[in-house]
A = this chain, B = another copy of it.
């Protein structure tokens, strides 16, 4: 097999301590010895093994990323942002996914022991109790979109309430008064928060909430399609529909199309998530953009701060700001500019897709 540090030491006529010091550029060393050791290492193609080093230093230079799933662009963007930032700090990324139930998550948590210096956890199925019990003591952790209260952990969440609020406020500002929402499932936290943002915005505008305008959905394209029936059932009809995710907006638009209702002329439509397909729909979909890679990136940054400044790291909950991406489906602009080009503004809620925000608000 490959050479180890002893082989190098022997061949260079020095101790392994010296080899280690020289190759790690730590401590003093005679210039001649340095040269010799380097030459020998090169010649034997010696590369230090993480096995020994990790055990010896009790560090792995790796961070773990626990995801509930690996389907779709949401998770791939999280991974991308996390990997990017991890690499910038010379850390590796251990990815783990598909933990559908509690016991699988617990198993995953334990597998991480000795493999990573810190852990980013994204899971709707975990509770503080389970974390406290199963997490190796002292392992730095950042919770992503976990909807966990309490301040024992660092946490970053998507500003669902703010995003939905922003979108509905935008529709209100453009004259809409009857705005329906297609909800997600009751037990889905994102869904509940988006509904809350919708209600808040209406209330602030002095508009009475109408239960008939809150249409059931489950974040699936099919449920968006079916929502059309409900949306058109009541008179007077809503003039705008806010689908609380893009998938439902896709189904909704298909349904409206089949019902012969023109978007945005007869019905304004907006989504949430700003997934790639929104851009390719006809008409292109107005949506709430979430900087998902930013979520992964911030998580790693926060995690490494814990790892590196363990003592005086200050734990906090923060929210990832969302931005509005206006396209044709809401009828508030006239033309969708070229892909990814800025959209002209006429108010502070009008933003470009390019301006990836890295702000986050600290929760009290």
Beyond A75-B76, A276-B277, is A97–B83 a contact (Cβ under 8 Å)? yes
Collect the chain B residues with CB atoms within 8 Å of residue A87's CB. Answer: 96-98
| Contact, CB under 8 Å: A51 / B62 | no
| Contact, CB under 8 Å: A94 / B96 | no
The verdict on A150 contacting chain B, using a C-beta distance below 8 Å, is no
Pick out which of these stretches binds chain B: A130-138, A266-274, A298-306: A130-138
| Contact, CB under 8 Å: B92 / A47 | no
Count copies of this chain in the complex: 2
The verdict on A177 contacting chain B, using a C-beta distance below 8 Å, is no
| Contact, CB under 8 Å: A95 / B98 | no
Give the docked Cα–Cα distance between A73 and B277 (Å): 12
Give the docked Cα–Cα distance between A42 and B294 (Å): 39
Which chain B residue shows the least CB distance to A254?
B280
A55-73 interface mask toward B, CB cutoff 8 Å, 1 = contact, 0 = none? 1001010100000001111
Pick out which of these stretches binds chain B: A7-15, A106-114, A157-165, A236-244: A106-114
The verdict on A80 contacting chain B, using a C-beta distance below 8 Å, is yes
| Contact, CB under 8 Å: A2 / B138 | yes
| Contact, CB under 8 Å: B138 / A54 | no
Give the docked Cα–Cα distance between A80 and B72 (Å): 10
Give the docked Cα–Cα distance between A215 and B114 (Å): 54
Of listed A71, A73, A95, A110, residue having the most chain B CB within 10 A: A95
Which chain B residue shows the least CB distance to A275?
B276
Which chain B residue shows the least CB distance to A280?
B277
Collect the chain B residues with CB atoms within 8 Å of residue A110's CB. Answer: 47
Which chain B residue shows the least CB distance to A110?
B47
| Contact, CB under 8 Å: B95 / A115 | no
Collect the chain B residues with CB atoms within 8 Å of residue A203's CB. Answer: none
Minimum CB–CB distance from A257 to chain B (whole Å) comes to: 9
Of listed A58, A115, A277, A282, residue having the most chain B CB within 10 A: A115
A21-53 interface mask toward B, CB cutoff 8 Å, 1 = contact, 0 = none? 000000000000000000000000101111111
| Contact, CB under 8 Å: A53 / B277 | no
Collect the chain B residues with CB atoms within 8 Å of residue A76's CB. Answer: 70, 72-73, 75-76, 79
The verdict on A325 contacting chain B, using a C-beta distance below 8 Å, is no
Tell which of B48, B94, B98 touches A84, judged by Cβ atoms closer than 8 Å: B98
| Contact, CB under 8 Å: A95 / B96 | no
Collect the chain B residues with CB atoms within 8 Å of residue A277's CB. Answer: 276-277, 280
Beyond A1-B137, A138-B2, is A70–B55 a contact (Cβ under 8 Å)? no
| Contact, CB under 8 Å: B51 / A114 | yes
The verdict on A228 contacting chain B, using a C-beta distance below 8 Å, is no
Give the docked Cα–Cα distance between A111 and B53 (Å): 12
Of listed A1, A47, A84, A281, residue having the most chain B CB within 10 A: A47
6 A-B residue pairs with Cβ-Cβ distance under 8 Å, sorted by A, are A1-B138, A47-B110, A51-B60, A54-B114, A70-B84, A93-B95
**5 additional contacts, CB 8 Å, given A50-B113, A51-B54, A282-B282?**
A48-B113, A50-B115, A70-B79, A94-B95, A276-B276
Chain A positions near chain B (C-beta within 8 angstroms):
1-2, 45, 47-55, 58, 60, 62, 70-73, 75-76, 79-80, 83-84, 87, 92-98, 110-111, 113-115, 133, 136-138, 221, 250, 276-277, 280-282, 339
